[in-house]
A and B are shown apart, each in its own frame.
Chain A
Amino acid sequence: MSKPLIGVILGAALGVIDGLTAWFTPAVRNEIGGIVIGSTLKGIIAGVAIGFFAKKFQSLPAGILFGVLVGGFLAFLVAFMQGGYYFQIILPGTLVGLIVGFATQKYGSADYTERSAKSA
């Protein structure tokens, strides 16, 4: 499995779970569908970005740092649009980035064929 694909799958899965946890908040329970779709999209965007970064740079610390930055930035945008809950949104979002950054560096195959063909 390629690194971007792992990023997308993991980002989407964590996004779905992330959205579903809104069920525990009665105030937004009736909007759970939109929340799940939004958080899934956020997860996919983060997964694609982190996955392509992992394909380009094979470094676990760099992958984790990039994941944390992307996850944190996207979560910041969501919190900014909501106008609150910065800590409650940014902290889990950062952790999602960390997980996807770690997983894309550790698992999945980097596409060396393209690079070796170019260098040949």
Chain B
Amino acid sequence: MKWISDDKLDRLRTLVANPDFSSTKYTFVKELARGGMGTVYLAEDTELDRHVAIKVLNTPDVTEDLRDRMVREAQIIARLEHPGIVPVHDVGVLPDGRVFYAMKYVRGSRLDEYAAENSSIRDRLRKFQAVCDAVAFAHAHGVIHRDLKPQNIMIGSFGEVLVLDWGVAKLGRGFSRMNTDWPAGTIVGTRDYMSPEQARGEIDQLDERADIYSLGAVLYFLLTNKLPGEARPRSVNAAVSKTAEAICLKAMARSAGERYSSALELSADIGHWLDAEPVSAYRESAFEKVSRWTGKNRFLVLLVLAYLVMRIFFAFTAGR
């Protein structure tokens, strides 16, 4: 009897667990991430000689409903052609019956990893604006993401921002053929980032404002480095300005009616804050207005002050 070494046994186990891409144009490279519904692998496209990310359903013996959802996810992403939404290249079925789709392989880091490496709030917020723009584009096409969180946002190596994982997206009009939403009462998304109405399972009531709440929760994370909670951002991180906190709290309002009406509106307020302009979420005092203007026009203020000091000095010396 011949014994197989542990190393060889482990390798065999890995080979069996990995998907069989033999009937496709892809070759397996490595596993990238594992989720509840599917696993994302890095593979090589042998025809185009490039790396792709392939999402494969976790088990072959799945219900038709899950297969349909996977195909639907690929179709949604394919329709959303935007620089901020990861593009889909291909959809297919593996020899074991598992559905897969191939998408662009994004080299870079997830938004939470990026935030850990980049302490500049301004830089993080510029990225956040790009997320808002991508989400606004999806909303304009009748798609609500429903699972926005830092882990589903990638920052590419050239600073590009890509929103991933549209697996639980809700589709609006124009997608009737693909519209197979969960029954009322189902809770989809990630608890820390989901809106109150989403957490209550009001699945048929959800609209774009559910994503606005999640964007607010992502903003909370970017401002504080902590998971969104009951505490106000400024009590978690004293460096957060009142204006940034007001934007965050408006986006995360418990009542959908009190939130920003669109992701673009949220993005615009962030842009105004970054450019030291007034924002819709915060009414500033006269003193705050003056200090904001002075901070924005520091060079001009210094020049005028230098001029006045010089003028008064000359006037005094001439008078002696």
Look across to chain B and name the residue whose beta carbon is closest to the beta carbon of A13. Answer: B304
Look across to chain B and name the residue whose beta carbon is closest to the beta carbon of A87. Answer: B314
CB distance from A30 to the nearest CB of B (A): 13
Contact between B300 and A102, CB atoms less than 8 A apart: yes
Bound Cα distance A27, B315 (Å): 11
Asked if A99 meets B318 with Cβ closer than 8 Å, knowing A21-B312, A24-B312, the reply is no
Contact between B306 and A95, CB atoms less than 8 A apart: yes
Any chain B CB within 8 A of the CB of A57?
no
B contact face: mostly helix, strand, loop, or mixed: helix
Give the residues from 68 to 82 in chain B that come closer than 8 angstroms, CB to CB, to chain A. Answer: none
Bound Cα distance A14, B318 (Å): 19
Bound Cα distance A90, B316 (Å): 16
Give the residues from 22 to 54 in chain A that come closer than 8 angstroms, CB to CB, to chain B. Answer: 22-27
Any chain B CB within 8 A of the CB of A110?
no
CB distance from B203 to the nearest CB of A (A): 49
Any chain B CB within 8 A of the CB of A106?
yes
Asked if A95 meets B319 with Cβ closer than 8 Å, knowing A103-B300, A106-B300, the reply is no
Bound Cα distance A16, B303 (Å): 17
**Chain A residues, Cβ within 8 Å of B314:** 21, 88, 91-92
| CB 8 Å contact bits of B277-320 with A (1 = contact, 0 = none) | 00000000000000000000001100110111011101111110
Contact between B319 and A24, CB atoms less than 8 A apart: yes
Contact between A24 and B307, CB atoms less than 8 A apart: no
Contact between B319 and A26, CB atoms less than 8 A apart: yes
**Chain B residues, Cβ within 8 Å of A95:** 303, 306-307, 310
CB distance from B275 to the nearest CB of A (A): 14
CB distance from B307 to the nearest CB of A (A): 5
Any chain B CB within 8 A of the CB of A74?
no
Any chain B CB within 8 A of the CB of A8?
no
**Chain A residues, Cβ within 8 Å of B303:** 95, 98-99, 102
Bound Cα distance A75, B102 (Å): 71
Bound Cα distance A25, B318 (Å): 6
Look across to chain A and name the residue whose beta carbon is closest to the beta carbon of B299. Answer: A102
**Chain A residues, Cβ within 8 Å of B319:** 24-27
**Chain B residues, Cβ within 8 Å of A88:** 314, 317-318
Interface centre among B300, B308, B316, B318 (most CB of A within 10 A): B318
Bound Cα distance A96, B300 (Å): 11
Any chain B CB within 8 A of the CB of A80?
no
Give the residues from 69 to 120 in chain A that come closer than 8 angstroms, CB to CB, to chain B. Answer: 85, 88, 91-92, 95-96, 98-99, 102-103, 106
**Chain B residues, Cβ within 8 Å of A21:** 311-312, 314-315
Bound Cα distance A3, B115 (Å): 41
Contact between B312 and A14, CB atoms less than 8 A apart: no
CB distance from A71 to the nearest CB of B (A): 10
Bound Cα distance A22, B314 (Å): 10
Look across to chain A and name the residue whose beta carbon is closest to the beta carbon of B314. Answer: A88
Bound Cα distance A13, B315 (Å): 18
Bound Cα distance A82, B316 (Å): 18
Asked if A17 meets B300 with Cβ closer than 8 Å, knowing A24-B316, A24-B319, A26-B319, the reply is no
Contact between A92 and B316, CB atoms less than 8 A apart: no
Contact between B311 and A92, CB atoms less than 8 A apart: yes
CB distance from A89 to the nearest CB of B (A): 8
| CB 8 Å contact bits of B7-19 with A (1 = contact, 0 = none) | 0000000000000
CB distance from B265 to the nearest CB of A (A): 25
Give the residues from 51 to 87 in chain B that come closer than 8 angstroms, CB to CB, to chain A. Answer: none
Closest 10 CB pairs of A and B: A24-B315, A25-B319, A21-B315, A88-B314, A21-B311, A95-B307, A99-B303, A25-B318, A92-B311, A25-B315
23 contacts between A and B (CB under 8 A): A14-B304, A17-B308, A17-B311, A21-B314, A21-B315, A22-B315, A24-B315, A24-B319, A25-B315, A25-B318, A26-B319, A27-B319, A85-B318, A91-B310, A91-B314, A92-B310, A92-B311, A95-B310, A99-B300, A102-B299, A102-B300, A103-B300, A106-B300
